Amino acid sequence: MRYRQAPYSPDSEVAAMLDALRDEMKQGTARGAGRHELTLVLNGDVFDFDAPRVIDRKSVFHDLPRSAEHAVPAMRAMLADHPVFTEALGRVVADGHTVVFISGNHDVQLTLPEVRDLVRARVVDAALAALGGTPGEGAREALAARVVFRAWFHRTPDGILLEHGNQYDAYCSYRYPMLPFGRKPGEIQPTMGSLACRLLASRMGYFNPHVDSSFMLSAFGYLAHWARYYMFSRRSLALAWALGALRTVVELVRRREPERRARRRACLAAAARETGAPLRAVARHARLFARPAEDRLGLVARELWLDRAVFGLLAVAAALVWLLLAPSWLAPAALVAPAGLVAYERLVPKLPLDATWKRVSRAARQVARAHRARAVVFGHTHNPEGTWEGGLFFGNTGSWSAAFEDVACTKPVFASRPLVWLRSEPGSGSAARLSGGLVAWKNGRFEALTTSAPPAAGQRSEPQGSPHPPFQSPAAAALRT
């Protein structure tokens, strides 16, 4: 689990990038074109509440209730472990800019008021430290107003909509993202993705949850993985999988909360209040959600390989019974059961992860129509994207997590750090001109990866590798860590 260790944390890179953004704002203001203001959006999964807890410098597996009682100490520990990150956010706020935290599927605990209060207090403390001296009357309240939280999505006055994107992934979606609670008041309902991360992936040390290819393997891939890392050890990959998969299904069934119309209406109303979006647009937006996996247990069994394990055991048992009871000349018929398993695998293929990511990407276009947005930015998939389509921008902030192709953490999946940087030029609301796109932070500088201005209607932007500044005063910059 080297990817969890301090040397592989992106804290210093995030801090350097944020300081560069602050310098860009100051330079833009100094050029006399009016004050340049930044809205920094942390687009979900900034904190990982599903990772093992660290106690006495060791990773300790857990499936603690997703409540304030356990989330606040965990958040306090995370902030204490990452002072460089917190201080960098404080400097952004101290400069008069705004920081927006959007909840993702790994940090849905940011919807809890107690967790929000703690994060806001720590960022404000860092901002006051950056300003120096004793804060004047009302200074703390003014700084706190610049630390904003969104449980579902964030919408800017100039038509930019930012959302983590897990609501279009059945394994990670919540029935009520504004009120993601189960049967116990104040306790967040676990998704299949959260349970699988806590009960499966995090207990298998050679799987990196930030790298899909490390754990989304074929049957032969899992066999090779076992042979390489577990065959000559005392640890059992099969036992960890069997116990984790069964517990995941049991927890989904035990905690399933059926849809209730009153709670759905309350969720939509809460989103409209928090974001200022029209209630009708919020309702259209919610209709795009993927149905949670707890309603589709067959899909869960398929994803966790439980269906194939059960059918495989039945096939072996049927073949053995046939060989014991049938006449010898009918022995070849015992192959019918294994052949049936092969046929099942062919006829009912497992949905590839790419199909889920494509669904998330397609949903961005529908979200734009629901809100008449001019730009929609997602995260969740870890795949950075950015394109202008008919004057609308669609992007994905990718990830800054410790993603490596090898367990020794020497080969990073991405050579640069992605973010989406959009600029809103002077104007009011929809009259403001948007430009910008997908950007990479690499070697201490910004490089544009998509065109900096929307192409003509009907045209699609092509990736570019030119150095960054054609746009230097963004209305919104979004990233995930």
- Residue 252 and residue 297 in contact, taking contact as beta carbons nearer than 8 Å: yes
- CB neighbour list of residue 244: distance below 8 Å, 6 or more residues apart: 196, 199, 200, 203
What are residue 100's DSSP bridge partners?
41, 148
Instruction: Report the alpha-carbon distance of residue 365 to residue 372 in Å, rounded.
Output: 10
Quick one: tokens of 210?
A: 């930030």
- Place 174 in a pLDDT band, splitting at 50, 70 and 90: very high
Strands 160-163 and 375-378: parallel
The more confident residue out of 330 and 198 is 198
- Residue 52 and residue 62 in contact, taking contact as beta carbons nearer than 8 Å: yes
pTM over 0.85: yes
Over range 243-256, report the average pLDDT.
Answer: 91
- 88 pLDDT above the threshold of 90: yes
Angle between helices 113-131 and 83-94 (to 10 degrees): 70
Over range 345-369, report the average pLDDT.
Answer: 83
The proportion of the chain whose per-residue pLDDT surpasses 90, expressed as a percent, equals 49
- Place 29 in a pLDDT band, splitting at 50, 70 and 90: confident
Long-range contacts of 306-311 (CB under 8 A, 24+ apart): 306/245, 306/246, 306/249, 308/219, 308/341, 308/344, 308/345, 309/242, 311/340, 311/341, 311/344
What are residue 55's DSSP bridge partners?
58
The more confident residue out of 207 and 168 is 168
State pLDDT tens for residues 43-80.
Answer: 999 999 998 888 887 888 889 999 999 999 999 999 99
